[in-house]
Amino acid sequence: MAKHVAVLMGGWSAEREVSLRSGEACAKAAESVGYRVTRVDVGRDIAEVLRALKPDVALNTLHGRPGEDGTIQGILEVLQIPYTHSGVLASALAMDKAQAKIILASNGIQVPEGRVVTRAEAARAHVLPRPYVLKPVREGSSVGVFIIREDQEHPPQELHRTDWNLGDDLLAETYIPGLELTCAVMGDQALDVIEIQSDLRFYDYEAKYAPGGSRHILPAQILPNIYQKVRMLAVKAHRALGCRGISRSDFRYDDRTGDESGLVCLEVNTQPGMTETSLVPELAAYAGYSFGELIRWMVEDASLDR
């Protein structure tokens, strides 16, 4: 009998729409390789829904909270339903960018200099020398990220919005110029490295998910030693946070340095996007996995936390 796979998608985070797209793509791929699939638009009754469904595996395609921060993982642990991607602790750590930076740095992985500030503090005056980056501590997909340029006199006016719902803690970091690089880890093996180029302000939500929003150079046209260093650091970051399944680490490389000192890890994504413009399916395809084979690998790799 075919495995029954519950594809968890949607939810109520700022990344709901892209999660629905990821989920539908993964559901179709899972059906194409023979699984029995139930699509689940996650609501606050998710525990009752899953208890009634009794799936063999949960394919988690949620982005943001509660699907990426350890919350849904904890529910699946209680229900004893094996699930894809990282477990409770790794998900919570990676989602909290400030805590993740501490762990990455303690494992010898270079991260941007910076500090956590309140939204009110960031709205009043510049919190770091320009240029710098402001980002919500616990969001993904570049939601709520601002790059403050050298000629920007005042902090972003959006920080004063009364409908701001991205949390009151922000991470302020020194802006790292150069190339945008990313590398996925599948199991315990690094895939290849993509350089991301965009004509937009930076690799923001629109650049990530709008058709034509960015260009992916695969393999990245960088020095061989830097290429291999990115792959090594992606695996090191994956292990340091305790990730499992698939993760994706994002880097900036200041190529003016000409050496490894310019390579900085920005963050680790435990729930990478799986849409038609997403990076992990592209990296997996380059490694010889069709989209259906990638989904099969994820489903068969699913487990409870260990």
d(CA 219, CA 205): 23
Q: Specify the pLDDT at position 207.
A: 46
Helix, strand or coil, per DSSP, at residue 63 = coil
d(CA 290, CA 294): 6
Helix, strand or coil, per DSSP, at residue 288 = coil
Q: Is 165 annotated as a binding residue?
A: no
Please, are residues 136 and 11 in contact by the beta-carbon 8 Å criterion? no
- Confidence grade of residue 306 (pLDDT, cut at 50, 70, 90): low
Reading the block at residue 203, the tokens are: 């690799």
Helix, strand or coil, per DSSP, at residue 7 = strand
Q: Is 267 annotated as a binding residue?
A: yes
- Report pLDDT digits (tens) over 146-195: 999 999 989 998 998 888 888 889 999 999 999 999 999 999 999 999 99
- Confidence grade of residue 203 (pLDDT, cut at 50, 70, 90): very low
Catalytic residues: 15, 141, 278
Q: Specify the pLDDT at position 210.
A: 54
Reading the block at residue 149, the tokens are: 């340029």
Q: Specify the pLDDT at position 169.
A: 92
- Report pLDDT digits (tens) over 37-73: 999 999 999 999 999 999 999 999 999 889 999 999 9
- Confidence grade of residue 213 (pLDDT, cut at 50, 70, 90): low
Please, are residues 167 and 138 in contact by the beta-carbon 8 Å criterion? yes
Question: What percentage of the chain carries pLDDT values higher than 70?
Answer: 94
Going by DSSP bridges, is the β-strand pair 246-253/215-217 parallel, antiparallel, or unpaired? unpaired
Looking at every residue in the chain, the average pLDDT score rounds to 92
Q: Is 168 annotated as a binding residue?
A: no
May I ask the CATH class of domain 4-84? alpha beta
Please, are residues 202 and 263 in contact by the beta-carbon 8 Å criterion? no
| Strand ranges for 154-293 from DSSP E | 169-174, 179-186, 189-197, 215-217, 246-253, 263-269
d(CA 225, CA 64): 33
Structural domain boundaries of the chain?
Answer: 4-84, 93-111+177-297, 114-174
Going by DSSP bridges, is the β-strand pair 4-9/57-60 parallel, antiparallel, or unpaired? parallel
Per CATH, domain 93-111+177-297 is 3.30.470.20:
yes
d(CA 184, CA 192): 7
| Average pLDDT, integer, range 229-249 | 98
* Sheet bearing 114-118, strands edge to edge: 114-118, 169-174, 132-136, 146-148
- Confidence grade of residue 205 (pLDDT, cut at 50, 70, 90): very low
Going by DSSP bridges, is the β-strand pair 189-197/215-217 parallel, antiparallel, or unpaired? antiparallel
**Does pLDDT of 206 surpass 80?**
no
- Report pLDDT digits (tens) over 85-126: 999 999 999 999 999 999 999 999 999 999 999 999 999 999
Please, are residues 53 and 40 in contact by the beta-carbon 8 Å criterion? yes
